[in-house]
Structure 1
Amino acid sequence: MEFKINDEKNIPISQLKALYEDVEWYAYTNDLNLLQQACLQSLDLISVWREETLLGLVRVVGDGLTIIYIQDILVLNAYQNQGIATLLMQHVLNKYKNVRQKVLLTEEAPDVRHFYEKNGFISCDQGTLVSFAKLG
């Protein structure tokens, strides 16, 4: 199967809606204009396409010099476990290899933990760092 990587931030709202709803991230699709603006204002947005279909994306925020924050990484359910998320993650890690802090916040699940650990991330509950978040 042939995939095309794209770094264009201006993804059509219909494609964003289809992707985010497919993975049930409905909090994002409650305001599609806000989601599209968030994509446009991100430091980076890397997406994977098959023909005209958005299969997945990774959204990066930060300064790109000392810190990046991986905000979203998601892949259509029908295309999961085919290496697309790894392709996206490796693209980000290679592009920002000189950035010292690469941070993300995600849900706790065995498959999620395994994915990030195999990509070189260490959970803050296992290292010398502490993590705090204020949501809402």
Structure 2
Amino acid sequence: MTICFKNSKNINVDQLEKLYNDVEWFAYTQDLAILQQALSQSLDVISAWDGDELVGLIRIVGDGLTIIYVQDILVLNAYQNQGIATKLLQQTLNKYNSVRQKVLLTEEAPDVRHFYEKNGFQSCDKGFLVAFAKMN
């Protein structure tokens, strides 16, 4: 298996639907036109491909100068634990190395916490940071 990484916001909606549904992010696939528009309006999108199959994606929002926000990072279940998410995240962190604030909000789970901590993120429940969110 050779995974190819692409920097493009133009991804077939059927491929997006399969990826987001596979990881059970159904809120995103209730309106596929909005999902595709969200990608097109993002600061950056890096995708991972196994041939013609979309197997992973990271989506970044922000200004790219002072702040980036990792909005989505997901990998098909069959491709998880193969380093794909790490490569997507590292490509992003390298590209936006000079940006001071690199932020994300995610669910609490031991494997999730481990993934982000091993990639240099600090949880806001440790140290001097505080985080607030308002969800609809």
1:29 shift after superposition: 0.3
**Matches of residues 1-136 of structure 1 in structure 2 within 5 Å?**
1-136=1-136
The residue type paired with residue 10 of structure 2 is N
- % same residue: 70
1:3 shift after superposition: 0.8
Normalised by the length of structure 2, the TM-score is: 0.99
Report runs of 4+ in structure 1 exceeding 2 Å deviation.
Answer: none
* Distance in 2 (alpha carbons) for counterparts of 1:50 and 1:111: 24
* Distance in 2 (alpha carbons) for counterparts of 1:79 and 1:118: 19
Long gaps (5+) in structure 1: none
1:30 shift after superposition: 0.2
CA RMSD of aligned residues (A): 0.4
Secondary structure at the aligned position of 1:9 is classed as coil
Normalised by the length of structure 1, the TM-score is: 0.99
Long gaps (5+) in structure 2: none
The residue type paired with residue 58 of structure 1 is I
Matched positions, count = 136
1:123 shift after superposition: 0.2
The residue type paired with residue 83 of structure 2 is G
1:80 shift after superposition: 0.1
